[in-house]
Structure formats: structure tokens, C-alpha cells
Amino acid sequence: MEIAKIFGLFVLTAIAEIVGCYLPYLWLKQGGSAWLLIPSALSLALFAWLLTLHPSAAGRIYAAYGGVYIGVAIIWLWLVESIKPSVTDWVGVLVCFVGMAIIMFGAKHA
């Protein structure tokens, strides 16, 4: 259950980070309103706070979180930007998840 909780927290953290970065992109590249910067800043603050909820060393959390971020970013590409991920996108996500598992589970024995 602890693994599912941490993974879910990683997913929420990734969504907060992606939203926080995507909204300025809409403003700067897609002609969106500058008002998008307010929810962007709030989302990035949420992202930073969510990272503090993990029970391990910050560097290890950031490293493992990176794998989940990549997976969530590919799903975002598909669901929000309507671009179908390629097979190599999914293989890359799988490789990142394996790396994440090595970092997280290997640390228990170090």
C-alpha cells in the first residue's frame, strides 16, 4: 500500500508541475491570457509542497520522481495535446520506470 501511495503522490506532483509549466506555454506560444500565470504559480507552489510530503531524502525523491514525471508527460501529450505517443515513447517510459524502481528499492539496502 505504501508503494501505491508514493506513486500516487508522484503522479499528483507531476500533474502540478506540468500544469504550472503548460499554462505559461499557452500564454507565451499560443496567445493565451497573462492571467494564466496566476494558476500557473499556484500549481508550481503545490508542486513544491507535494515534494515535501515524501518520507525520503530529497535528492533520491527528485531522481525517482523524474521517471514518473516522464510517464505523466507522455500521457499529457496524448490526452491534453491530442498527440498519440509512439512505441518508442512508451518504451522510454518503461525504461524510466525501471530506473525509478532501482533508485527507490535499491536505497532500502544501501
pLDDT digits over 34-43, tens only?
A: 999 999 999 9
pLDDT band, very low/low/confident/very high, at 59 (cuts 50, 70, 90) = confident
Residues 33-67 as b or e (16 or more Cβ within 10 Å = b): eeebeeebeebbebbeebbeebeeeeeebebbbeb
By C-alpha distance, which of 96, 95, 108 is closest to 64?
96
Cell numbers at 109, concatenated: 539496502
* Choice between 101 and 71, residue whose per-residue pLDDT is larger: 71
- Quote the pTM value: 0.84
Residue 69 has pLDDT above 80, yes or no: yes
pLDDT in tens, 12-34: 999 999 999 999 999 999 999 99
Residue 1, pLDDT score: 66
